[in-house]
Structure 1
C-alpha cells in the first residue's frame, strides 16, 4: 500500500526495499473547468487554450548544481546520457485519468556524481497564455516499483498555487547508501524552464 506524504516529509526508498532499482515516477494534474457556462462560455465555447504542463528532471551534483545541459531531461532531451533516466513523452492538456507524464529511472545506473534528481513542472508559454497553477487541480507525484508495479509513495499537492508558474514537485537524493524522496511542493513565478535551470547554475 502506498504511503501518502505531506509537504516537507522525507522517506527512504531503498531502506525497506532491498534491491530496488527500476522505478516509475508519475506526475498528474487536471485542468480546472473554465468557460463553457453562461453567456460568454456559450458564445466562445470556453475559448481558453489548453494548459500545457511540462514535467522535467534536473540531475544535480553534490553542490546542487546542474553541470551540463545533458543533465536536464525533458520533452526535448528524453534520455539522460547514462541511460538511467527516460522521459516517456509530453502530455499537452492534462485531460484524462491517471498519470499525465511518466519518468523511468534505473537507480543503479545513476552516475555516482549525481547526488539529487529534482522533478519540476512548468506551464508552457504561460505569460502569453496568462496561465498559472491556480488553474489546475489534483496535482500529484507518485513512485512505482517496476519490479512488482506496486505504488510506493504518493504526494498530493493540495496548496493553492495561484499565480505560480513553476513547481518544484519532489526530489530523489542520495543519503549515505540509500536513496530518499522528499516531498517539496514549492511554487515559483519563473516563466519557463530556462529560468528554472538558472537557479541551479
Structure 2
C-alpha cells in the first residue's frame, strides 16, 4: 500500500485505507539546528484527547513528557531504559523526549502509539501537537532558545504507520509558513461514527506548550 501525502486541511479515512487498523504509530520528525554552536531545537510532542466540550476529561488525557510512567514501553525500549506517558485507559502511549532532535538518525524524532480500540467512548478527537521548549525549561538552559520559532525549523512532518505491518499510511509535511509561532497543532484523529479519520491541521500559536494547555484544559 502506498502512502498518501496530505496538504493542510485535508482529511483522510484511516478505516477505509487500512481496514482493521487497531494500533497506529504516529511519528514526527524535524531537522536539528545545524547552525554552528547554535541552540538545539528541543521540540516536545504532546496530545490532547478531548470530549464534546473540546476539553480533556481529566489530566490523564493530556499526554506529554511530564506524565511519564515507568514500564509503559515496548520491549526494546524498556531494555534501553526509556519510558513513556500513558493515558488512564491505556489507549495512548506518549513520546519519548528527544531534547535536541538528533536521536532519529534519519527516522522519526519522536513517536506516539495509539490503540484505537481502547480509546474511551467519551473521547471524540485527539489533537497531536508540537511545541518548542524554551529557556528556562530547555535541557541546556540556553537563553537563546527564547527567540526560536517554527519558521526556523526545517522539514517538520507527521506520519501515521500501521503498527502491525510497519507500513506508512499517510503523511503531512508542515509547510515553512511561520514567523513567530512556537506551538503547532499538527493534526487530529477524530471519530466519524465507528471509524477514525485524520486531518492535517497545521494550526500555529504563540506561547509554546502552555498555550495549548490553556486551550484544552
C-alpha distance after superposition, 1:80-132 (max 9, x if no partner): 11111001400111123110101000000000000100101111116842211
Matched with 1:6 is: 7
> 1:3: how far off?
0.4
Runs of 4+ in structure 1 displaced over 6 angstroms?
none
Counterpart selection for 2:166 from 141, 149, 154 = 149
1:28/1:170 Cα in 2 relative to 1: closer, same or farther (>3 Å)?
Answer: same
Secondary structure in 2 matching 1:24: strand
What's the offset of the Cα at 1:32? 4.4
Cα separation, 2, equivalents of 1:164 and 1:97: 25
> Structure 1: which 5+ runs fail to align?
37-45
Secondary structure at the counterpart of residue 199 of structure 1:
helix
Structure 1 residue 189, shift from structure 2 partner = 0.9
Report how many aligned residue pairs link the two structures.
189
Identify the match of residue 46 of structure 2 among 53, 56, 59. 56
**Match of residue 94 from structure 2:** 87
Matched, 1:139 2:132: no
Structure-2 residue corresponding to 1:160: 177
The equivalent residue for 1:122 is: 131
Name which one, 1 or 2, has greater alpha-carbon Rg. 1
**5+ residue gaps in structure 2?**
68-84, 137-142
Contact 2:186 2:200 in 1 (8 A): yes
Q: 2:204 aligns with which of 176, 187, 196?
A: 187
The corresponding residue for 2:31 is: 30
Secondary structure of the residue that 1:194 maps to in structure 2?
helix
Question: Scaled by the length of structure 2, what TM-score is found?
Answer: 0.83
Provide the C-alpha distance between the structure 1 equivalents of 2:150 and 2:17, rounded to a whole number of angstroms.
35
C-alpha distance 55-70 of structure 1, shift in aligned 2 (>3 A): same
Distance 1:171 1:16 in 2: 17
CA RMSD of the aligned region, Å?
1.5
Separation (CA, whole Å) in 2 of partners of 1:136 and 1:16: 31
Residues 126 and 165 in structure 1, CA contact (< 8 A), matched pair in contact too: no
Q: Give the Cα separation in 2 of the matches to 1:68 and 1:194.
A: 17
Task: Give a deviation string over 1:2-60, Cα, whole Å, max 9, x none.
Answer: 000011100110124221101100000113432x3xxxxxxxxx2x3211000001000
